[in-house]
Structure 1
Amino acid sequence: MVARYVQIADELRARIDGGEYAEQSSLPKQADLARDFDVNVNTVAAALKLLEREGRVQSRRSRGTVVLPRIPLQKVGSATYHPSKWTSPRPRTGSGEAGPSSASDSSELTTVGVAPADEEMAERLNVVPGDDLVCRTSVVRDADGTVSQIVRKYYAYAVAKGTLLMSEESGPANRWREFQILTDVGLEPATVDERLHARLPDAGELGALGVSVGEPVVETRRRVYAASSTPVEYSTGLYRASRFQWNYTFDLSAGDDQE
């Protein structure tokens, strides 16, 4: 038998999807919902907590339980990395992720740091342990100010030195900026290995992303190779699972047996 709080969560979710409770509106008070569903307040609280973990609602001190915008940003598989994305003519704006709102609605704040490579990072970028690496950390916010992703990209200092990979930039999110720079210095990306998995965030990530306890995140790990099979970028990404969807299209006529 399905627990009563799960049934209530299902009903509230259906009302949100059906437009009865609009985005950014407040749900009825817990006491009112308890009366409507003929349950105690604790059962309603459990249902709302379930929706909060899904990223559908958020508890706010001054407004009660608020319906969050449903803005799935699409990452479109292998087509995302087609060279036309970063070679001429170059896009002026755009994060490479499409959604109901324009890409210019996303803003990015980037910080740059330099630190010696440990053994793990040295192997990933084919450098000697202790060599300097450049780390670009980008925090991307949606139009409503919600942090949707945090991405860290690593480069050998010998590659980044004297390029815009050393600059800190704020403005419209543009995921192709680094690929453009690598191309300009003769290291055009040729192969991308990207892996992703869902998990619960740790304590530090809860605060950084502003997610609720129990709301899942998607972690990505990507390594980019130039035509020489030399790794030129290693990156990790942390995404709010409720804000993204991953779409993949495969060309089955290519006859590629690799997994």
Structure 2
Amino acid sequence: MTTEALDRNAPLVAVASADAVLRHPEAGEHLLTALEQERAARFRHESGRTDFTAGHLLVRLCAARLLGIPAEGLVLAQQCPDCGLADHGKPYLPDHPGVHVSLSHTRGVVAAGAGYRPIGVDVELSARGGSLGAVARRVLAPAELAAVEADPEPDRAFLRQWVRKESLIKIGRATLDTLGRIDLSALLLTVPPGPPLRSRYEDLHLVDWTDPEHGAAVAAVSTAPPRIVELSPPATG
């Protein structure tokens, strides 16, 4: 992994293909807990199992870099605040309560973050069906909806706002029921591949970028400026 200028308060965020994560020399399915392995085995399709596994490994790689320790031995758990079950819900590191983590996966692409401050990340490949119908009207503020509908590529524009709002949910600043009351219409809708776009929403730092290899929309949010981490490819030859 390579990083930008060091800042202990800055959360680390990474995005990579699921295959790249599984090939990483520090990763391996043996790092998963028994519950994670059981959850991975529930997927009907191999692609879903691969994406789930890669996401749970990438978040370990981010946390390991943040802590300066090997990913081996890092335990990842989840807890649902509503039903109390441990097979879904917000992820956390039981052995490192001062570290916040977040993860997301879509078809072939995963994103993760770890920091000493709360962090939320989300990644999506393509707009969801009916994005400009009931879904958009439920999760977008009026000004956001108008901007999305006026955009030359409304599905892409909606996707950008969606990953931003999903990251807000993951950091605990929103719920599905309150998304429509959060207005991000002041933020740019177009984020071309290249350097990440940095912006602010209230006291939060947002980072948006488009993964150049897959065209995936990625968003990360924290109270400190997230630091982008690149997954170094495994050595060959």
TM tier, smaller: under 0.3
Rg: which structure is higher? 1
As a proportion of its length, which structure holds more strand? Answer: 1
| Structure possessing the higher relative contact order (Cα contacts under 8 Å, 6 or more residues apart) | 2
TM-score, length of structure 1 as denominator length: 0.24
